[in-house]
Amino acid sequence: MSATSKSRFRSYQGEDETRIAAILSACHANGWGNESFWRWKHLFRPDFSPDDVTVSVVDGEIVGCFHGAILPVRLEEGLDVPMCVEGDFAVLPEYRKMGFPLEAHDLADKRLLEAGVILRGGFTSQGLNERFYHRQFGYIFAPTETVRFVKILGLDLLQEKVTQLSEWWLRNGILGEVFKGVHLTVDVAIDQLPPAYLEMSEKSLALVPGVAQTPHMQVRIPSGLLLRDRRGPFSLFLALLRGMLSGRVRVKGLLRNLPPLCRLLVRLVKRRKMI
């Protein structure tokens, strides 16, 4: 079977992720993930387009997948250019050496040029680049060092953490003790995240998607503050206070809610000393 007589390429269509995830997992020695992970990584990515995912179809069955994302890359101060960052590509073993990767790469060129994308690249080792990427696509290996990548797509993870904290505090009597007689609704705006509000009472803590109708306070928090401080709720509370003093965390309605907030802080400090 030739690579062109019974095959074609198309962009992602709804519900392709089950087959795509299966192909990726089959082609990775330690597995790759399921369709939920694929949706988290690709479909729910900001500015995702179905054209970012190309699949190769043979006799009506997806046999290969190729992913990319157009992102700004700063080459130097004042010079940002769009770059197609590519990865998560795989072809089932029985369909390899048929030219699918090279053909998919070439088919994407026209679309990327029309979008003003002048760079294409990805992350790999020098050895793999020499063995595959340079030989196939002419990519040049650029040694660099990446400290950390953080992907923030939605409220799910943060909601889960708030729910876990609420349940643990409720079981240990902390919630009823610290929030006794206190009910606060706080609009929370975190950069890179959808709007949400925090409901705090002696019965529960809950992060609710959307904007509260009558919030007691409004808080703007940089996502980096939440990501760097992972030591617990008390440390996070102190980090928020430091952020307020430095101006990184902005709060509206603080003065009129100062008494209940002071009570919360005193109770939290006392409870921490008892644990």
Residues 22, 111, single domain; the answer is: yes
Q: What percentage of the chain reaches a pLDDT higher than 70?
A: 86
Residue 39: Cβ-neighbour burial (10 angstroms; 0-12, 13-18, 19+): middle
Tell whether 149 is covered by a domain.
no
pLDDT score recorded for residue 253: 85
Residue closest to 55 by CA, chosen among 13, 114, 112: 13
Query: The domain spanning residue 127 has which CATH number?
Result: 3.40.630.30
Q: In the 3-class helix/strand/coil scheme, how is 34-79 assigned residue by residue?
A: CHHHHHHHHHCCCCCCHHHEEEEEECCEEEEEEEEEEEEEEEECCE
Indicate whether 229 pLDDT > 70.
no
Using one digit for the tens of pLDDT, what is the confidence trace for 46-65? Answer: 788 899 999 999 989 999 99
What average pLDDT is seen over the chain?
82
Residues 92, 214, single domain; the answer is: no
Using one digit for the tens of pLDDT, what is the confidence trace for 177-224? Answer: 878 888 889 998 887 677 889 998 888 889 998 888 889 989 888 766
User: What is the pTM (predicted TM-score) of this model?
Assistant: 0.53
Tell whether 85 is covered by a domain.
yes
Tell whether 143 is covered by a domain.
no
Q: What is the C-alpha to C-alpha distance for residues 143 and 101, in angstroms, rounded to an integer?
A: 24
What element of type H or E holds 200? strand 196-200
Residues 107, 213, single domain; the answer is: no
Q: What percentage of the chain reaches a pLDDT higher than 90?
A: 19
Tell whether 145 is covered by a domain.
no
Handedness of CA 243, 246, 250, 251 (dihedral sign): positive
For residue 14 the two structure tokens come to: 């709804």
Q: Please work out, in degrees rounded to the nearest 5, the angle formed at the alpha carbon of residue 223 by the alpha carbons of 218 and 224.
A: 135
Residues 99, 14, single domain; the answer is: yes
pLDDT score recorded for residue 4: 47
Residue 120 has φ and ψ, to the nearest 5°, of -135, 140
DSSP β-ladder status, 217-221 and 184-190: parallel
Using one digit for the tens of pLDDT, what is the confidence trace for 257-272? Answer: 777 778 777 777 776 6
Mean pLDDT of 140-162: 71
Tell whether 142 is covered by a domain.
no
Domain carrying residue 192 = 156-274
Q: Of 110, 137, 164, which one is at a domain's C-terminal end? A: 137
Q: What is the C-alpha to C-alpha distance for residues 107 and 11, in angstroms, rounded to an integer?
A: 11
Residues 168, 127, single domain; the answer is: no
Query: The domain spanning residue 217 has which CATH number?
Result: 3.30.1050.10
